[in-house]
Amino acid sequence: MSVYTDTQALPATKQGIAAAITGVAVILAMVVLYAVFLDQGALLAPALGTLSTTANYVHELAHDGRHLLGAPCH
């Protein structure tokens, strides 16, 4: 049984897995931030076509949250 302490380094494979998970989490966080703060229908455009800009579901879903966080959206 092996227990890692603060002075021991993780094996290279575990470091790679941790780096990959961190990278995916950062990319996902960036997509979520874009969707909440900047999206004006472009995120759903491939799926909904012109309906995504006229109905603007993502913007309307996050609209109150933007104002709550102090982010401008108008």
- Number of structural domains in the chain: 1
- Using CA atoms, how far residue 69 sits from 44, 53, 62, 73, in Å, is 23, 23, 11, 11
- 2 part of a folded domain: no
pLDDT, residue 73, reads 65
Phi, psi torsion values for 18, nearest 5 degrees: -65, -40
The answer as to whether 62 is a domain residue is yes
Instruction: Determine, yes or no, domain membership for 3.
Output: no
Q: Does residue 6 belong to any structural domain of this protein? A: no
Read off the pLDDT of residues 4-35 as tens digits, 9 standing for 90 and up.
566 566 677 888 899 999 999 999 999 888 77
Return the structure tokens found at 35: 């969707």
What are the CA-CA distances from residue 68 to residues 18, 39, 40 (Å)?
33, 17, 18
46 located within any domain: yes
The range of the structural domain enclosing residue 23 comes to 12-69
- How far apart (Å, rounded) are the C-alpha atoms in residues 30 and 28? 5
35-72 pLDDT, tens digit per residue, is 777 766 677 777 777 776 677 666 677 777 777 777 77
